[in-house]
Amino acid sequence: MMIVPDGTTLHIIEREPEALPFVSPLLQRWMALEFEPQQCRKAVEALFRDPASSADESLLDARAVTDGGTVATEALLHPPVEYAFRLRVLGENGSADQVVTRFDASMAVEVASVVRSLTTEAETVRDLSWLPRTLRSLLTHGDVAPTPGFPRVERPGIYRREHGCVVIRSETTTVILDPVSFWMPRAPRAPIAVDGGIDAIFITHGHADHYSVPSILAHADPVRTTVVVPPVPRTSLLAPNDMVRSLKLFGLDARAPEWYSSIVIGDIHVEILPFFGEQPVREGQAPHSDLRNWGSCYRFSTPGFTAISLIDSGVDPLGDMADVVRTSRNDHGPVDFFLSSLPRFHCPFFLGLPHYYLALPFDRLRELFTQYRTGCLPSVTPGPDGIADVCRAGRPRYYLPYGNGLEGVGNPIGDVGMSIGEPPEWELVTYLTDRFQREGIPTRAIGWNPGDWISVDRGRVDRMVYERTSHSAEKLDLLK
């Protein structure tokens, strides 16, 4: 059976309040009205008269606008579970067709079997009769996916794949972070090629571009692979996935170790670190403590090197990742690599995370919008300046950018925000290189592309450059 073809994405949804039709339009309308309370209340009331908006008084409290309170009701802030299987097919002109079918928890094992047969080179596909006919047709009559271009994982090092996915390999053990190949329409689809299989999968947080159940199922062996996810005390608008419960329903060994605990996978020791940042606000009054984008960062210590994955984390009212990495260095010793993303998201007015504004009182939104309008609203993700802060605190030998999208295997990233107008990755690596030198930060920023990998052999560090034409690699000596 073929792997799901290029241009088609698979999704298993647990809760998806951010996809309600009114979420983005209401934010844009309020921004156009500059958060004038009376007019913004009328905008909510207008939604109630539009059946296509899916908005009603069970989800939104119009009076809260003029009262300055939280407009989202409890039903929107803490929605009930509602599992769905979704398939999307992208057209050449950018259009997208999709089919959604709902299922309950009792069908989770069967759904997992179907997804595995669609995302691996299975000889036969499971019974699809429970799916709508249009969905069955799309899944069974697509073209075969093109041959993936990612290199085989054979030696110790760090391998860069799609978006926030990297492979960390020791002599005996292989772990991966945030596989999302079936979330990204143009990502290579074949599971990671590695002798012995994948020992563990680590998930940093529950956003769809980091937590993709079909991509996890494609890589995880139910018998041998441990899936490590962040602890989520309570699901919510900002953390809609009960990852441990769902992954266990799908037949996987899922665990959610607490921050500052540790876990050993083969010969790799992993420290579970907090995830601060990428919340609705960077500073000041935050949402209620129940409302949080829960995540975890990780420190991987192999016999040959140590790496900390920071992904989108930075600063929020609960803490600062610079303090976290400083403490980790003091308690556990120096770090060879920091890996982190580079885009800047000015939440709660960033339309890539359009639902964030609903977690805040209206009076707080008005304050933040004044900052936003005057260009003073700080990013909730680290951006290059935040990377400089954590590298100054943690003093890794190298900084590796990742989590900035995918524009083809072997291709450089032209917009670290995935087409939102952010700079190209090479430009920000140059900026960091200059800043590290100017400020005496003992870190070297490495430019690399998806498909490249960092070889670590007896203290020698090389960037292995992916070559699309020959599928070979060129060594670039990074030894200090």
Place of tokens 């329903």: 249
Structure tokens at 144: 């075969």
- Residue 120: the pLDDT is 79
Say what angle helices 425-439 and 383-394 make with each other, to 10 degrees. Answer: 40
Whats the size of the chain, residue-wise?
480
Amino acid in the structure at residue 42: K
- Residue 258's CB is within 10 A of a number of other CB atoms, namely 9
Q: What is the DSSP letter of 242?
A: -
Cβ contacts of 37 within 8 Å, gap of 6 or more? 65, 66, 68, 362, 366
CB 114 within 8 A of CB 65: no
d(CA 94, CA 182): 18
Closest residue by Cα to residue 187 from 418, 456, 388: 418
How far apart CA 107 and CA 93 sit, in angstroms, is 35
**pTM for the whole structure:** 0.94
Residues 6+ apart with CB under 8 A from 441: 388, 391, 392, 395, 435
**Identity at 32, one-letter amino acid code:** A
**d(C-alpha 202, C-alpha 174), whole Å:** 11
One-letter amino acid at 170 equals S
Q: Are 8 and 138 in contact (CB under 8 A)?
A: yes
- Is the domain spanning 153-477 CATH 3.60.15.10? The answer is yes
Query: Which tokens go with 467?
Result: 């070559």
| Structure token digits, residue 236 | 């919510």
CA separation for the pair 243, 56 (Å, rounded): 29
d(CA 372, CA 366): 10
> What integer pLDDT is reported at residue 3 of this predicted model?
73
Question: Tokens standing for 202?
Answer: 């680590």
Spatial distance between the Cα atoms of 298 and 259, rounded to a whole number of angstroms: 9
pLDDT of residue 145: 47
Please give the chain's pLDDT, 480 residues, in tens.
457 777 889 999 999 999 999 999 999 999 999 999 999 999 999 999 999 999 999 999 999 999 999 999 999 999 999 999 998 887 666 667 888 889 999 999 989 988 888 887 655 565 666 666 766 666 655 555 455 578 899 999 999 999 999 999 999 999 999 999 999 988 988 888 898 899 999 999 999 999 999 999 999 999 999 999 999 999 999 999 999 999 999 999 999 999 999 999 999 999 999 999 999 999 999 999 999 999 999 999 999 999 999 999 999 999 999 999 999 999 999 999 999 999 999 999 999 999 999 999 999 999 999 999 999 999 999 999 999 999 999 999 999 999 999 999 999 999 999 999 999 999 999 999 999 999 999 999 999 999 999 999 888 899 999 876 544 455 555 554
Q: Three-class SS string for the chain?
A: CCCCCCCEEEEEECCCHHHCCCHHHHHHHHHHCCCCHHHHHHHHHHHHCCHHHCCCCCCECCHHHHHCCCCECHHHHCCCCCCEEEEEEECCCCCEEEEEEECCHHHHHHHHHHHHHHHCCCCCCCCCCCCCHHHHHHHHCCCCCCCCCCCCECCCEEEECCCCCEEEECCCCEEEECCCCCCCCCCCCCCCCECCCCCEEECCECCCCCCCHHHHHHHCCCCCCEEECCCCCCCCCCCCCCHHHHHHHCCCEEECCCCCCEEEECCEEEEEEECCCCCCCCCCCCCCCCCCCCEEEEEEECCCCEEEEEECCCEECCEEHHHHHHHHHHHHCCCCEEEECCCCCCCCCCCCCHHHHHHCCHHHHHHHHHHHHCCCCCCCCCHHHHHHHHHHHHCCCEEEECCCCCCCCCCCCCCCCCCCCCCCHHHHHHHHHHHHHHHCCCCEECCCCECEEEEEECCEEEEEEECCCCCCEEEEECCC
Residue 355 has what DSSP assignment?
G
